[in-house]
Structure 1
């Protein structure tokens, strides 16, 4: 129990220390919060701004004086307004004099709020409301006045000449804003931005951003956008534009099919060129001599009215613009006869051949799959099961097989009767060896024979199975024939 009590005392001591620390922080924080002001106030130039201040819970404290102090962004503090209950309000010589007043007249010491009219960008800074109290001393609160100026934003592409050195291709500006604007670029061009800021006399900021790259003909016409973000804007402002890169003409000649033969008419070459600025002139000429008489020139087209040996030459097209000249050439080879042309029939035949190949491949795949499936089915266990053997206990099993002509021609004694159910055949050779008899080299009996006895060495029925009519001649059948209507019983069998 003593340990438990000691533990309670230790916990009580910790809790007491925590309560004292919290109480100290509360009292200290409460003292700091007795001067109530706004943390931040926003204003545009030319407006009137109110800076509120009040002293909460002045009971037990004597307020003697209040002073408003201005602390600029750059510079020293200055007093701009003072109020004493006995001496009244006073406004020292400052840039705000004549524009700053107390909200109430006469001023209230517990609520000494002020207002500044026709605010300027230079009025931005911190405004401190400081109370002189007794006996606690001075207590204060600070408000930041932030001046806003909506900037004027502009952007545009800058024409550049294709080359090997970086050049400015676009410029974006956010002028006379407060606070400083943020400029960004969106483009697929491979370049970089350079941004500078400059502060004006009225404390506004102008931001200029330039986009630079090594310009090429491929960059001409690419999209680029300048995006300006500012506190006075509800959303970023975007300026889309296209890059303008100047370059000499790039020339291409089309129309030559390598099939100019003697007598062919109206063949045509076209000189295509692109450049920035647009090409001004197009000129055709040949490598040697004068242009043949069968050639007609019109703007960027060259037409040969009739092909002959005179046009077996090299044609050159030259295009000029302000930046330079571009040219291209093609050599025409005149043939004695025309080359076979590839018509639509050739394409149809090729397509038909491909189609037939695809169909045959599909059929072959189908046959292979069918054979594979059939083979997999045949490799399995047979699905057919033979019927079970029939039981032969009926007296009808003993009837003579009348359909066997051999049986009908034999004597009655030698006819076969099935007098018992099918049973396994006994190996008689094994029986003889057990009796001590020497085995004989003979052919074994065939159990599958109709009579059960098919010994090549003995053609007669063994004596125990032979039934004679010596005792009763009258019972013997006439001519060895038994009437089918008569019943009979076979002789007994001894085993």
Structure 2
């Protein structure tokens, strides 16, 4: 504090003492209901805080703002503390508003507005300063990683207040990490770790760490790293057309996936080099037959290699005679038609027989049932059965 500010502060202090003395003698009286009104303020570090003190009833008594160290900032419209960041916004009998620009964490604390009635009335407002988290950094990427490796990704941000929140995303899908918070003075250092068992599906995947914090009012800060994974190749052969015929064009495509890319690939026939390079053309990973014939029959093998391993696939080629293929097609169609007719006729017979039996179900009486109970022998039972219909209902047998 320079000499001028010190003198002003001393005068204000003396003025306050005099007011108290005069009040004790009855020469100064406060008005009932004169109370300063203030509000707590929250501001982001580096921003501007406006501190306002109002009073509803005032008999021209001065208002004063003091900082947490009890240093007078403004007494009425008079600036008491030499700080270029602190400016007067509005001063009247009813209001005293000041602004603090380029706010730092050290500005945080309890500010006091005083109304110099007798007795002096005060109100306190707390200035909260939010620490802005720094842009996160991601560590732990091994370039390249190898399929099967276990790696730990760590995201860290400094300077947040209160402690920031860190979130992990695998491409656009959120994944859970382990969070750790450490205090560094008034601010916090936050770490989040992510355990990965990498495979080929992680190759080219973007892992993003985002910072969420109340001080970041627009978009959260974030960092992104793309994971590169090396893995051994896998091979398959794709062919067209489905049924190769003599004279046709045929293309065999060796689809190999690996990192690093296994280029070039190797084509062989029956374990040896390709026999006819005029008709069998190798372009990149493709083997093309310009005009098929029976001599092309055999097993074709595609092999791909990188520094992590070798993979191969085989295709057995059989070239069909177009004429024979058409005849076989006709025979198959004929046989299929006959089978369909037989199945249809069988189903019709089953349905007709079922309906017939359903309509002609009934009962019959056996000779034994008609007279066996009362007759000493079979002949007598037969004779008695003719006149014993009255009890036949008790011994019926049914059929369908």
Range into which the TM-score falls when normalised by the shorter chain: 0.5 to 0.7
Residue 234 (structure 2) aligns with:
250
Shift of 1:166: 2.7
Shift of 1:252: 2.6
Q: Say if 1:50 and 1:114, in contact at 8 Å, map to a contact too.
A: yes
Matches within 5 A, 1:21-170: 34-42=35-43, 45=46, 47-55=47-55, 66=64, 68-70=66-68, 78-81=69-72, 90-91=80-81, 97-103=83-89, 111-116=95-100, 118-123=101-106, 125-131=108-114, 139-147=122-130, 160-167=144-151
Deviations 1:305-353 (A, max 9, x none): 7666x987x76543234x4342215496999x9xx96965577557656
In structure 2, what is the Cα distance between the partners aligned to 1:362 and 1:135? 113
In structure 2, what is the Cα distance between the partners aligned to 1:255 and 1:43? 64
**Equivalent in 318, 324, 342 of residue 308 of structure 2:** 324
Residue 425 (structure 1) aligns with:
none
1:100 to 1:311, Cα distance in 2 relative to 1, 3 A:
same
Q: Say if 1:264 and 1:307, in contact at 8 Å, map to a contact too.
A: no
Shift of 1:51: 0.2
Residue 177 (structure 2) aligns with:
193
In structure 1, what is the Cα distance between the partners aligned to 2:359 and 2:40? 90
Residue 29 (structure 2) aligns with:
none
In structure 1, what is the Cα distance between the partners aligned to 2:112 and 2:169? 46
In structure 2, what is the Cα distance between the partners aligned to 1:67 and 1:236? 36
For normalisation by structure 1, the TM-score amounts to 0.44
In structure 1, what is the Cα distance between the partners aligned to 2:351 and 2:190? 74
Q: Say if 1:266 and 1:306, in contact at 8 Å, map to a contact too.
A: no
Q: Say if 2:239 and 2:253, in contact at 8 Å, map to a contact too.
A: yes
**Equivalent in 218, 227, 231 of residue 201 of structure 2:** 218
In structure 2, what is the Cα distance between the partners aligned to 1:240 and 1:347? 61
Q: SS of 1:250's equivalent?
A: strand
Residue 396 (structure 1) aligns with:
none
The count of residues paired between Structure 1 and Structure 2 equals 317
Residue 380 (structure 2) aligns with:
none
Kindly name which structure, 1 or 2, has the bigger radius of gyration based on alpha carbons.
Answer: 1
For normalisation by structure 2, the TM-score amounts to 0.52
In structure 2, what is the Cα distance between the partners aligned to 1:364 and 1:42? 91
> How well do the aligned residues superpose, as a CA RMSD in angstroms?
6.1
Unaligned ranges ≥5, structure 2? 1-31, 363-400
Q: Say if 1:246 and 1:276, in contact at 8 Å, map to a contact too.
A: yes
In structure 2, what is the Cα distance between the partners aligned to 1:369 and 1:124? 99
In structure 2, what is the Cα distance between the partners aligned to 1:362 and 1:157? 71
In structure 2, what is the Cα distance between the partners aligned to 1:291 and 1:190? 51
Shift of 1:182: 3.7
1:69 to 1:292, Cα distance in 2 relative to 1, 3 A:
closer
Q: SS of 1:218's equivalent?
A: helix
Deviations 1:420-477 (A, max 9, x none): xxxxxxxxxxxxxxxxxxxxxxxxxxxxxxxxxxxxxxxxxxxxxxxxxxxxxxxxxx
Higher relative contact order (CA 8 A, sep 6+): 2
Shift of 1:253: 4.1
Deviations 1:122-163 (A, max 9, x none): 355233215387776764322334447597689999665343
Shift of 1:301: 4.4
Q: Say if 1:221 and 1:244, in contact at 8 Å, map to a contact too.
A: yes
Deviations 1:35-56 (A, max 9, x none): 42122343562x5432012355
- Which protein has the bigger strand share? 2
Q: SS of 1:37's equivalent?
A: coil
In structure 1, what is the Cα distance between the partners aligned to 2:347 and 2:41? 81
Shift of 1:282: 1.6
1:292 to 1:126, Cα distance in 2 relative to 1, 3 A:
closer
Q: SS of 1:247's equivalent?
A: strand
Q: Say if 1:156 and 1:172, in contact at 8 Å, map to a contact too.
A: yes
In structure 2, what is the Cα distance between the partners aligned to 1:44 and 1:210? 28
Q: Say if 1:69 and 1:128, in contact at 8 Å, map to a contact too.
A: yes
Q: Say if 2:44 and 2:130, in contact at 8 Å, map to a contact too.
A: yes
